[in-house]
Chains A and B, each alone.
Chain A
Amino acid sequence: MTDVAPTAVDHDRSHDPDAPRTGPARLEIKELAVAFGGLRAVDGVSLVVEAGSIVGLIGANGSGKTTLLDAVSGLVPLSGGRLFLDDADLADYIPEERSRLGIVRSFQDCRLYPELTVEDTLMLCEDARRRVGVLSTTLQMPWARRSEREKRKAIDGVIASFGLERFRLHTTAHLSTGTRRVVDLASIVLANPRLLLLDEPTAGIAQREAEAFIPLLRRLHEVTDSTILLVEHDVPLVFELCSNVVVMQTGEVVAAGTPDEVRRDPRALAAYLGASDEALNVSGPLAAASTPAVPRDEASGEAASGEAASGGAPSDEGG
């Protein structure tokens, strides 16, 4: 496996000594199989996610999409096949170590940590990257204090840019689903990913907010300078956003290619998209979605004009 040079927007990260490698990573899946008892949830899937690309994974419920992500992040044991991140065989890494390789995962339920505050949730991402021993924390050694200060500075920036300031001390359990998603995205940015596994980032979010996710995800892709593998039910969003689309059915890949190819692929249509236009138009006409959507604040109902990167502002259930 040869090194793949970063192809996306080139950010200068040479000042960051923590990351052993930077830039988007290339994921290669070879004959991947995952079985739960007799059920073969993923059955011989091979695909390559090129460095810096956004690949969408679509398919009906139970077609093995989430299981595929689980396999890449190491949460389920493989019953066959191999996984490579650039030239590293992922079989050598347990889930905690995979995050050090730059594989970052978001979850469908986006439960996060119910009793941690937003601040602590974000600090946690920094904890994983800058480890400080318990003993030096207990004795409040100078390096432990410095590290804690640096972490706080890093998350202060992210909290400000995501507009999370007023939720800083709220526990996650008290946030709305939409706000939790934003916190989740903020922790993704902090985690400095090279390969980003997103599991239905728009699940549980109002349709209007979901539209705003297209520019948001695009900006996320740019800012984190990563490769994205995205599982999503919102087909127009996938077609709009992704450079490649993979359609899965009962654990197998039935179609793959650029959005245009897949849209014309009869097998893809049969497997998931269906013959009707309804599924294709969940997020509204594609042309409309390509212009930046007007973000809305759910709590105030007041529209706020913003740059292309704006999305639905976080809102609070109890507010």
Chain B
Amino acid sequence: MEIIKPGTNFDFLGKRKVALGGSAILLLVIWLLVPFRLNLGVDFAGGTEIEVQFHQNVSPVEVRQKVEEAGFADASVQQIGEKTENAFLVHVERVQILSPEQTEAVRAALQSALADYGVQSIDFDQNVGDRIDVRTEKPAPLDVIRNAVAGVPGVQLRAGGEPVRDLSRGAQPAYQVLTQGLSDKVTGALQQAFGQDKVEVRRVEFVGPQVGEQLRNRGIMAVLLSLVAILLYVAFRFQPKYAPGGVLSLFHDVSVVMGFYVVTGAEFNLTSIAVILTIVGYSINDTIVIFDRVREIESRKTGKSLYEILNLANNESLGRTIITSLVTALSLLGLLFFAGGTSLWDFAAAMLVGLISGTYSTIFIAGPFALWFDKWFARRDAEQKAREARLAAQDRGELPAKQGGGKRRARAHAD
């Protein structure tokens, strides 16, 4: 069986201006939208995500209402999976459970309650906000601290364990107060509203802002690093003139995958970085197959221009390009149709978009840029040659040569 009959002769490069123009506009739109529309998950934005399942029928509206009543008006509630599963994702962007007013109220309450013991410092944990550190001059009873904090409206101490801990060492009295964490508060409110045994917490993800920022920076670094590594490999393994096109086509694919997240509003998280890096690997794979073919045709010494060679390479490899993309896409279909409601769906869909982009970019981005850089390198070489010739002529006292061997050399290089 054959999908692509051999001997096709499409003029792919002839469409390069339309393709490049279209891609440029698409990329521009995507990157303009990224800052506004990219739905950063807790991995990168920090925050709390709670997946709950109810053992009774519950509507998203009810869940949202209860979460709002618990004091999280900014939370997003999203139903996941089949309707009958009654599973929801509650996403709260902030990590600090205490509002600035509450923080001040707690500080004031502690100051007045501990006045007799000489307050040295009251510090709130910057990252998480559920821990208060207190240092006093004289040892203070734990009860006094506990009551002072618990007395502030809306502030609850951590249930279970000891919410107030004595960390005194030697002559320095030190105490730690733990307030209720955000996920506890949300699940507590839901359990209160729907019944203790009706709510099951399936998953909690909490990422502090510090970690979120680290993960974000490292994610960007990883993508950039992979682009640079591949640029170097292609430049070393093939010729430098092929490298920029290869990397620009990868940049194109990365952008299109970002576009998928922007358009669908799917959560952009650590798995998305995995998708991007895999697409980078897959797409350059595709590009290398074509460049390999170019190298092979060049070695046949047919006297064809690079334009013709690139077209020929694309046509000769067309069967492979289509089949490989098709097979890879087929392997993702199972995930797409049978893994709904899990993060695998987003993964498969984003991968599929990247796959199509990777196939397109090899033909319409990497090729044209190789052609363009080929001309650029040739012109640079020609100018260099001409300059040398001129200098040599001046040395010999002859007139500067207007027409040197530059053009001949350029042609030889293109061949």
Q: Do A and B bind each other?
A: no
Binding site for A on B (CB under 8 A): none
